[in-house]
Amino acid sequence: MRLITRGSEVNENKDDNSVRLGGLPISTRNMIESAENFATWALEARGRKQLPYYSTSANGQVISMASQDKAFMRLLLEADEIHPDGMPMVHISRLLTKTPLQERVATTDFVHIVAKEAQKLGLSFYFLGGTPEVNRRAVDSMREKYPALVFSGSRDGYFSEEQEPIIVEEIAKLKPDILWIGMGVPREQAFVSRNIDKLVGVGVIKTSGGLFDFLSGKNQRAPVWLQKVGLEWVYRIIQEPRRLVL
C-alpha cells in the first residue's frame, strides 16, 4: 500500500524527479518517460488494493492561482506528480534551476503518447468530464485513431453532488487502468481529493483540464509555431475570452 497523507503538503510517494517552480514540485520527466511511468504504475496496480498514482498539471495560470489560494496549493501538493503544461515554465526552469525541465508535457499531446503505450499493453481508459456530446465525441475520436485502445467506460462531467458517490462507485467497480478527468481547475483536483481513497484499484488518475474539448474537435490547438514559443495561451484566450476574467 502506498502511503499518502491527503490534505497536507506531505506525500510520501513523491520521487526526486522534480524541480521547484512557483512553490510546486514540477516533474522533470519528458513525455515518453511519463507515459512509461503511467504504464508501469497501471500494470502494477492490477489486482492490488492500492491508491491510484495521481498526476496533475500546472501552467502559469495554475501557479498564479496556487500562490493566491493556499487551499488550492494544498490540493495540487496531494498529487504524486505535476506535469509542466506550459512552455514559459520550461524557459524559466533553464534560468532558475540546476535541473531544467526537458520539455512541456501538454496533456493534449500526452494523451496520444499514453494511448499508443496503452494499445501495446492492453491498458484501459476511462474519460470523465465534458458535456455529454463532447465526451462522446472525444471517446469516438480516440477509438478511431487507436482501434485497439480499450475504454472501460466514460461519463460527462455534469452531475450533481448527490450523483457523485454513485459515479465514483461505478468507476471503482470498472477499475480502469487510467482515469482521465477533464472538469477544469480547480474542480477536478477537488474531485480527486474527495474521492481518491474510494478509487482503490484504479491504476492512474490524470487531471486533464480542457482535454476533451480538443479531442472532440470543439476547440482547436494553436499553430505549432505559437506552441513552441510559449504563446498558445494567447490563441486559447481568443477561442475562450472568458479566461480573461478567471
pLDDT digits (tens, 9 = 90+) for 68-127: 999 999 999 999 999 999 999 999 999 999 999 999 999 999 999 999 999 999 999 999
Query: HSE-up of 141 (CA within 13 Å, CB side)?
Result: 18
| 221 confidence band (pLDDT: 50, 70, 90) | low
Sign of CA pseudo-dihedral 161, 175, 12, 188: negative
- Residue 64 has a pLDDT of 95
Residue type present at position 223: P
- Residue 31 has a pLDDT of 97
d(CA 161, CA 171): 16
Q: Which residues of 23-45 are buried (b: 16+ CB within 10 A; e: fewer)?
A: ebbbbbbebeebbebbbebbeeb
* Coil/strand/helix, residue 40: helix
Q: Cell triple for residue 141?
A: 475520436
- Residue 228: pLDDT over 80: no
Mean pLDDT of 18-25: 96
Any idea what the Cα angle at residue 85 is, between residues 214 and 62, rounded to 5°?
100
- Residue 1 has a pLDDT of 31
- Residue 2: pLDDT over 90: no
pTM for the structure as a whole = 0.86
- Residue 230: pLDDT over 70: no
| 144 confidence band (pLDDT: 50, 70, 90) | very high
Q: Which is more confident, 166 or 231?
A: 166
- Residue 226: pLDDT over 70: no
- Residue 14: pLDDT over 90: no
The top-scoring range by mean pLDDT among 24-28, 46-50, 232-236 is 24-28
- Residue 219 has a pLDDT of 78
- Residue 239 has a pLDDT of 53
| 241 confidence band (pLDDT: 50, 70, 90) | low
Mean pLDDT of 34-58: 96
Q: Which is more confident, 79 or 16?
A: 79
- Residue 136: pLDDT over 90: yes
Mean pLDDT of 48-59: 96
